[in-house]
Structure 1
Amino acid sequence: MTQIGDSGPVAVLLNPSAGRGRHRDALPGVLERLRATGREVTVLPAGSVDEALASCRGAVASGVSALVAVGGDGTIHLGLQAVAGTGIPFGVVPAGTGNDFVVELGLPDEPVAAAAAVTRALDGGSIRKVDLGRLTDAGGNVRWFGAVLAAGFDAIVSERANRMRFPRGPRRYDVAIVAEMLRLRPRRYTMVLDGVEHQLDAVLVAVGNTARYGGGMRITPDADPTDGLLDVVVGGRLGRVAFARIKPHVYQGTHVGHPLVTTYRAATVELRAEGIVSYVDGERAFPLPVTATSAPGALTLLA
C-alpha cells in the first residue's frame, strides 16, 4: 500500500438508478461523507453512457485527485475506462445488485460502509495497485475490464437478451437462457495463449482478471488481480444436460473439476470465433476476434 498527498477536488460518477434504485436514499449520505474530507466534490454529468464516459475522462484530464464511482458494476466499468493506466486514484461505492468486482477486491459491498472506507483512504492518502484486463478488437479499439470477459454461452445469452423487447427486466435473461439452451452447440474457437495456439470446440469461454461475474458466479475461481495474469476457463463439448448440471457449480467455483472443463493462465489471450460478441464486466464489448492482455497495476485503487 502506498500514499497519495494530493488534496485536490474529487469527481463523482453517480448512478441513482443502480440496483433498481434500492440504495437511492443512501446516496446523499455518501456525498456528505466525501465532502466531510474538506475536498471539493463534483458530481459529474451523466445523462447517458456517452456523457458519463466523456465526463469521467474530462475530469481525469483536468487533474482531479480522485474519481469515485457510485453505482453498480456498469457504473464502475465506465469509471475504469477513464482511470485505467493514469495513476488517478479510483474509489468505489457499490449500489448495484451484483457488485462482483467490489467483492473480489475485498471492499465493502454496502454503500455507507464503502463511502466510509473511501473517505478514510482519502484522508489517509492510501492506495493500492491492482491489475486490469485490456481488451483490444481487430480495429485497435480498447476496452478495460476489472472482472471477467465472457465469450461463450453467457455472452450469447446477453446478446439475445439485449435484442429482446419483451419481457422487461431480469425476466428477459431467463427467457434468453431457455432459448439459447435449446440452441446450445459447441463452437469452434482459435485461442492463442502467450503465442501458443489452441484449436478447440467449446460452449463456454471466460477470461478472468477476478473470479466473479453475473452476481456471484465464480467462473474463473482462481483468478488473482495482482498476479499479472488472466485465468481462462473453457467448457468444451458439453451437451444440454451436462451443461445444465454444471451451471449451479459455478457459484462455488467447483465446475472447474468437471472433465470437460479446462483451465489456463496467460498474460495475453487471443480469441477468434464466428458470430460471437464479447461482454466484459457484463457490458457489451467487441465482436471476436479480440485480444485480452493483463495490465499489471493499471488501477490505482483508494483502499
Structure 2
Amino acid sequence: MSGELVVLANPEAGRGRHRDLLPQVLDRLAEADLPVRLLDAGTRAEAQEACHSAAANGAAALVAVGGDGTVHLALQAVAGTDLPFGAVPAGTGNDFAVETGVPAEPIAAAAAIADAVKTGRTRPIDLARLTGPGRAPMWYGSVLAAGFDAVVNERANQLSWPRGPRRYDLAIALELLRLKARRYTLRLDGDEQVLNAVLLAVGNCASYGGGIRIVPTAVPTDGLLDVVLGDVSRGQLVRLKGKTYKGTHVDHPQVHTYRARTVEIEADGITTYVDGERAYPLPVTITAVPGAVRLLG
C-alpha cells in the first residue's frame, strides 16, 4: 500500500478511559511503515467530511479509534469502496469490532492493523445499506433498532437530566410505563406481513449496546440480514432483558427470527437507530451488501 494511514479518533469514546492510549495506538499503526495522520475534527460533521476527504484523496487506509459511533462515521466513507478499513475498539460499545474478530485490546488491534497494511491483507465484511423516502443512503455495521430500544434511545436523547447511563435508565422506566405493541408492515425479500411487535431489530452483526446479542444468529459474512421480532408483555420484556446478553431471548415462543437480503419496515412514530446512532424515521429499506468493506486485521 502507498499513501497515508489516516486515523479518526474519538478521545471521549468509552467515557475517555482509553484517551491515554492514543499515542501508543498511533505508534503501533506507524509500524505499517506509512505516514500516519490523525484527522482534526471537532464535530461529527467535521469528522464525516474529513473521512470522505481522506477517502477521495488517496489515503492508503482509514482507521477508526473509538466505539461503534466512531466506526459508524468512518464506514460512511469506506463502504462500497476499495479503501481498506481498520477498527481499534476503544469505546463503551465495540460490537462491530468484536463481531468481526478484531482483537479486543486497542494496542493489539492497532498492531494487527499495521501488520495487515504491510502485507496487504484484508477481509471482506458485509454491511447493511439503509434508505428511506427522500434520504441519502446510510451504512451500518451492527444492528438497526426499530422497536422498544429505538423508542428508549429517542426518549433518552430528549432528556436533559440525568447525565450519563442513568439517563437511559430513566428513559427505560418511562417507556416501560407506556409500553404498547406497534403495528408494523414487514417485507422480507418482498414477502409482506402485517403484525404487532414490541421488539424489532435487523442485524448485520449479532450484538449492539456493548454485547447485547439481540440478533444472535446474524453473521457479517453471509450476505444476509437477520431479523428478530417479538410481541411480548411488559413483564415478559423485563424478564427477557437479561437473556439478551446470551441471545437466548429468541427461545421465547413470542419472539421470532427471520433472514432476508432485503428488509422493508413501515410503522408510525418510530425513528430507527443504527450502530447506536440516530438514523431515519420509518419507513425504511435495509439491504445486505456482501463484502461492502475491506477490513484490516
Q: CA deviation at 1:36?
A: 2.8
Q: Does 1:17 align with 2:12?
A: yes
Assess if the C-alpha contact under 8 Å between 2:33 and 2:118 holds in 1.
no
Q: Aligned equivalents of 2:148 and 2:63: distance in 1?
A: 33
1:233 is matched with which residue: 208, 228, 232?
Answer: 228
Q: Which residue of 1 aligns with 2:211?
A: 216
Identify the range of structure 1 (37-46 vs 203-212) with the bigger mean alpha-carbon deviation: 37-46
| CA deviation map 1:61-85 (0-9, x unaligned) | 0021100001111101100000000
Equivalent-residue separation in structure 2 for 1:11 and 1:297 (angstroms): 21
Matches within 5 A, 1:126-205: 126-205=121-200
**What is the aligned partner in structure 1 of residue 263 from structure 2?**
269
CA distance in 1, matches of 2:163, 2:137: 31
| TM-score of the two chains, using structure 1 as the length reference | 0.97
Q: Relative to structure 2, which stretch is displaced further, 120-129 or 37-46?
A: 37-46
Match of 1:279? Answer: 273
Deviating above 3 A after TM superposition, structure 1's stretches of 4 or more consecutive aligned residues are none
Partner of 2:3: 8
Q: Deviations over 1:199-224 (max 9, x none)?
A: 00000100000100011111110101
Contact 2:152 / 2:175 at 8 angstroms: preserved in 1? yes
Superposed displacement of residue 260, structure 1: 0.4
Q: Distance in 2 between matches of 1:12 and 1:24?
A: 14
Alignment length (residue pairs)? 297
Does 2:242 align with 1:248? Answer: yes
Residue 85 of structure 2: aligned partner: 90
1:7 CA drift (Å):
2.4
Is 1:124–2:119 an aligned residue pair? yes
Report how far residue 45 of structure 1 moved.
Answer: 1.8
Matched residue, 1:288 = 282
CA shift for structure 1 position 175: 0.3
| Identical counterparts, % of pairs | 62
Deviation at 1:8, TM superposition (A): 1.8
1:141 to partner: Cα distance: 1.7
- Letter aligned with residue 257 of structure 1: D
Q: CA RMSD in A?
A: 0.8
Please identify, of 8-17 and 260-269, the stretch whose mean Cα deviation from structure 2 is larger: 8-17
> C-alpha separation between the residues in 2 aligned to 1:35 and 1:195?
48
Relative to structure 2, which stretch is displaced further, 101-110 or 35-44?
35-44
Match of 1:75 among 70, 74, 78: 70
Indicate yes or no: 2:62 matched with 1:61. no
Contact kept in structure 1, 2:31 and 2:115, CA below 8 Å: no
Structure 1: gaps (5+ residues): 1-5
Counterpart Cα distance in 2 of 1:140 and 1:27: 35
1:99 matched to 2:82? The reply is: no
2-structure distance, mates of 1:39, 1:216: 34
Q: How far apart in 2 are the matches of 1:227 and 1:212?
A: 16
- Work out whether residues 67 and 90 of structure 2, in 8 Å CA contact, stay in contact via their aligned partners in 1: yes
Write the distance in 2 (CA, Å) between the matches of 1:30 and 1:246.
38
Cα drift, residue 47 of structure 1: 0.5
Q: CA deviation at 1:16?
A: 1.0
- Give the match's secondary structure for 2:170: helix
Distance 1:106 1:44 in 2: 25
Q: Which amino acid aligns with 1:271?
A: I
Q: Aligned AA for 1:79?
A: A
